Amino acid sequence: MATPFMLSKDNIELQFATNHIGHFLLTNLLLETMGKTARESSKEGRIVNVSSRRHQFSYPEGIRFDRINDQSGYNRFSAYGQSKLANVLHTSELARRLKEDGVDITANSVHPGAITTNLFRNISFFSGLVGLLGKYVIKNVEQGAATTCYVALHPHVKGLTGSYFADSNVAQASSQAVNTELAQKLWDFSSDLIYRCSQNS
């Protein structure tokens, strides 16, 4: 979260690579097996992507497709927001594709809340504040996991797909996060980026 500008081993801006591309690739690698399991077991599969309320604070254009690795104009907080916006967009497009294909798998994204972890380690002011006041105003790890577990396991969520959750309830995602054209563009961009990285390795 909010790292200084760095590139991943695959030469992708680190927060985008870690928070979005890794999840996108892993999900796609598991989809065939998940679909087969859902069919054979007659049980709904569920995909839960952990995003953040910070998705509302990406760059003005949402995803900087043409400047994903551009250090000029890089803002560590906006880049984090961009990666979390990508989580919500990915989830929305995935849900649409699964529904279109008639696969019994749902896909939802969640905001776990501010949690007392080392997530703030790259922001010394916040890290110190969390250490000092965290136990009074920030969720502990168990509380932070509650929404993810709820969306993954609770019977009330059965059949619900393409939604964004916070505090174990459906929540309002940003206008950029519900932009279907942006979601489709991100899907194509991510697939192409992974393909190009695989050709260079």
For residue 65, the 8-state DSSP code is G
Contacts of 125 (CB under 8 A, 6+ apart): none
Distance CA 20, CA 48 (A): 13
Residue 139 backbone zone (phi > 0: left; psi -120 to 50: alpha; other: beta):
beta
Asked if 110 and 116 touch (Cβ cutoff 8 Å), the reply is no
Asked if 13 and 65 touch (Cβ cutoff 8 Å), the reply is no
| Angle, CA of 142, 144 and 149, to the nearest 5° | 80
Q: What is the dihedral of CA 20, 36, 95, 83, to 10 degrees?
A: 0
- Active site (annotated) includes residue 74: yes
- Determine the angle formed by the axes of helices 180-200 and 76-101, rounding to 10 degrees: 100
Asked if 88 and 55 touch (Cβ cutoff 8 Å), the reply is yes
Active-site residue identified among 59, 74, 136, 164: 74
φ, ψ for residue 60, nearest 5 deg: -55, -35
Active site residues: 74
